[in-house]
Chains A and B, each alone.
Chain A
């Protein structure tokens, strides 16, 4: 069965600290897609990254980096030198190629960055 687990409900860090948000997924498909979305206080979820199951290269975008490890079914997200503007709820999501248009979202991790 599909499942996405974000075990960290809430994390608080002080500005400039690095923080890693964990995401563990379950799927029986060999082809699938993993996503991260950010939900700031304004409410709308904003797309951050999409990876397919055949591309295990880690990715870096500015202060953001993602570590995809199929061996542990994890797709973790690290923010380097966190800023107050990074405060938001972050969602990890899974979409199976054999399925339909149904994302499976995790329950989200609320990140608070304190000045």
Chain B
């Protein structure tokens, strides 16, 4: 199994839909992250969880709602999104949340909002 698995790989949704992105890590890490990758922009950190507790919410609109039921799983619930939310959403994990930690990424979910 790969270290960090994300599903689905692709998602197309309308602005009124509700959908969820799923991330699972098999590395025994304590920290998990959601990043947004838009064209020609740096990766944007959205949320950080450490031992299932949210420790960072980087001014993300409330239409994005994270959930971390245990240290291996992370979800991103989406509702009433806007077209500008179309992007690649990447999940990552690290052993802990120290500043020198290596991040391990999933392959991402390519989201298109129509």
Chain A residues within CB distance 8 Å of chain B: 4, 9, 32-33, 35, 37, 42-47, 50, 52, 91, 95-97, 99-108
Q: Given A45-B105, A52-B100, A101-B31: A107 and B41 within 8 A (CB)?
A: yes
Contacts of B4 in A (CB 8 A): 44
Q: A102-B45, A103-B45 provided; 9 other pairs, C-beta below 8 A?
A: A33-B99, A33-B100, A43-B90, A44-B108, A47-B104, A50-B102, A91-B43, A101-B98, A107-B42
Contacts of A32 in B (CB 8 A): 99
The answer to whether A43 touches B100 (Cβ under 8 A) is no
Partner of A107, one of B40, B58, B94, B110: B40
The answer to whether B90 touches A45 (Cβ under 8 A) is yes
Q: Please report the C-alpha to C-alpha distance between residue A52 and residue B45 in the assembled complex, in whole angstroms.
A: 22
Chain B residues within CB distance 8 Å of chain A: 4, 9, 31, 33, 40-43, 45, 48, 50, 55-56, 58, 88, 90, 92, 94, 97-108, 110
The answer to whether A105 touches B42 (Cβ under 8 A) is yes
Q: Given A91-B43, A107-B41: A100 and B90 within 8 A (CB)?
A: no
Determine the residue in chain A with the shortest Cβ distance to B43: A105
Q: Please report the C-alpha to C-alpha distance between residue A91 and residue B88 in the assembled complex, in whole angstroms.
A: 15
How far apart are A71's CB and chain B's nearest CB, in angstroms? 22
How far apart are B93's CB and chain A's nearest CB, in angstroms? 12
The answer to whether B42 touches A47 (Cβ under 8 A) is no
The answer to whether A101 touches B43 (Cβ under 8 A) is no
The answer to whether B108 touches A43 (Cβ under 8 A) is yes
Contacts of A103 in B (CB 8 A): 43, 45, 103
Contacts of B94 in A (CB 8 A): 101
Contacts of B56 in A (CB 8 A): 100-102
The answer to whether B48 touches A42 (Cβ under 8 A) is no
Contacts of B55 in A (CB 8 A): 101
Partner of B102, one of A47, A99, A105: A47
Determine the residue in chain A with the shortest Cβ distance to B97: A101
